[in-house]
């Protein structure tokens, strides 16, 4: 199992658009991606332009398939030009 | 419900000590803290000195009680003088 986290900061006039877009990606990933165990987006309480995603995958191959999926590519397009702080992706192992 | 994340970087000669210390805190929090729904430590795959914790609490009051607990204070002492990058704590809401 691998855990993936992602943090990014969106332009303040885009927050609502990302609330919709993140939920779309979240649902599509959980419902259609093989090996997707957890996929949960969050917004920082005191800074709603800061988004965070916590994902758990059964193996790396599943994550790679996800990266090539239509729903992930759609979200990647939404990110383009709409970020104030770049996407920071990290891959973890649980201890 | 609230989600809390924490990231920190330990001195490279302290990694093992933190593997033990984080598991101790994780187990004590999950087993004894009221309202602790999730408490999971991770190490970054390509940089094991980078630790990440993902916590879910039923409400802020439970998190505050946790912050005053013996096991949390014990871990705070372990952090002192052993970090290469300060603890970055963020509080999130799920979307």
For the CA atoms of B10, B14, B19, B21, what is the dihedral angle to 10 degrees?
-90
> A85 and chain B: CB distance < 8 Å anywhere?
no
B35-58 exposure pattern, b = at least 16 Cβ within 10 A, e = fewer? bbebbbbbbbeeebbbbbbbbbbe
In angstroms, the CA A55 to CA A53 distance is 6
> In degrees, to the nearest 5, what angle opens at C-alpha A15 toward C-alphas A19 and B95?
30
The domains of chain B, with CATH numbers, are: 2-92 (3.30.70.100)
The per-residue pLDDT for B33 is: 98
- Give per-residue pLDDT as tens, B16-35: 999 999 999 999 999 999 99
> A91 and chain B: CB distance < 8 Å anywhere?
yes
The per-residue pLDDT for B19 is: 97
Nearest CA in chain B to A94: B42
> B41 and chain A: CB distance < 8 Å anywhere?
yes
Residues in chain B, pLDDT under 50: none
Max Cα distance, chain B (Å): 39
Q: What is the pLDDT along chain A (95 residues), one digit of tens a residue?
A: 999 999 999 999 999 999 999 999 999 999 999 999 999 999 999 999 999 999 999 999 999 999 999 999 999 999 999 999 999 999 999 99
Closest CA to A61 of A29, A40, A34: A34
The two three-digit tokens of residue A56, written as one number: 């758990």
Q: Which of A25, A42, A53, A85 to substitute to test the interface with B, most B CBs within 10 Å?
A: A42
CA distance A27 to chain B (A): 12
- Helices vs. strands in chain A: H and E counts, helices first: 3, 4
In angstroms, the CA A10 to CA A19 distance is 11
Of B3, B23, B91, the CB nearest to A95: B23
CA distance A69 to chain B (A): 22
């Amino acid at each position: 199992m691998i855990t993936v986290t992602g943090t990014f900061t969106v332009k303040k006039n885009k927050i609502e658009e990302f609330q919709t877009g993140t939920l779309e990606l979240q649902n599509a990933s959980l419902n259609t991606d093989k090996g997707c165990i957890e996929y949960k987006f969050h917004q920082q309480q005191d800074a709603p332009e800061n988004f965070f995603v916590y994902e758990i995958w059964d193996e790396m191959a599943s994550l790679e398939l996800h990266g090539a999926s239509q729903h992930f590519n759609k979200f990647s397009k939404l990110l383009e030009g709409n970020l104030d702080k770049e996407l920071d992706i990290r891959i973890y192992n649980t201890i």
